[in-house]
Chain A
Amino acid sequence: MSDDNLFELKAVAKRFKKGKETISIFDDLNMTIKRGDFLAIMGPSGSGKTTLLNLLGGVDQPTGGEIVFDGARIDGLSEGDLAKWRANNIGFIFQFYNLMPMLNAAKNVELPLLLTSLSSKQRQQRVDTALQLVGLADRAKHMPSEMSGGQLQRVAIARAVVSDPKLLLCDEPTGDLDRQTADEILEMLQLLNREFGKTIIMVTHDPAAARHATHTLHLDKGQFVGKDEPELQEKSA
């Protein structure tokens, strides 16, 4: 595996049992994701986008093949080891933000840091920095119920980056936002990719959102059916 590769999927299969029937999502999926990529994955409903994101995020396990992250296989890890792996390497950004409604913005952002050995003061500094990065330093004490959709997603981004993970996994991050707010969020992701070197994988239905990525893969019936090159991305952006 090249040092440039962050993720490598080799002959990955994912099948579900539904009664007596076995449903195959992927049979022989192969892909490579390079460090610093901003990859958009598009495809119709049922194409396997979310399943792929779950496999890459270590919240689901393949039924066959290998998933190699940063040179080490993760497909055989136990649930406990996967939780630690996720805490150390992955930041999640969800369509509906998935913030804890009973915690204010700062406390939400702090959650991943509770899994580290940082002191309370160090955590506070990280939280302040993350909130400044997303432009919400003045909203630290605000509850989720007091914020707009765009602000909520920015808090979610702050939570995703606060522990400085290598990879951000975004599941329809702009699916619940208006166009202008969606663009602001996507520009923020671009900033994280370009300025901070974060590798980003984003599942989306929205071609306008995908144009913010450096590559787009099209998935249909468990197979990649097309790829937009960076040049094309830039032209259409």
Chain B
Amino acid sequence: MKHFLLAAALGLSAPAAMACETVTIGDLTIEHAWSKATLGAARPGVFYVEITNTGSTDDALVGISSPAAGMPMLHETVVQDGIASMPHAMSIPVPAGQGVQLSPGGYHGMLMGLTTALKEGDSFPVTLSFEKAGEVTVNVDVLSLRAEGPDCADAGQ
């Protein structure tokens, strides 16, 4: 009961608890995994995450998978001459000593074939496949369609 109350109290200031978890695999740190609510299951969902590479070897994100979506893909939003397009990204570089952000208006995961509509407050797992580090699964928080990112105390954004 005490824990429940504590969680409820924390919930007020930490609406994106999962997104604030940090997962590591090898030299990679994965955090701030979040998504946006969808209207129904027909429209694609989106997946954003922050990856930091503390090692000395370049890596690359080469794919994502999730039980929440039949056909997840990596995409990049490109705005050229004022026109936005969304080409498929075969591989997203995760440079040594740096990292990469999948964030609104840039690289992102596109979750096609959703098994169910994504609702604010839900969470679901996404497995990221890296060229060198291998596979790692993160929990993804579904925020509102309006959200611009998770509200983590330590978020460097």
Answer yes or no: do A and B interact: no
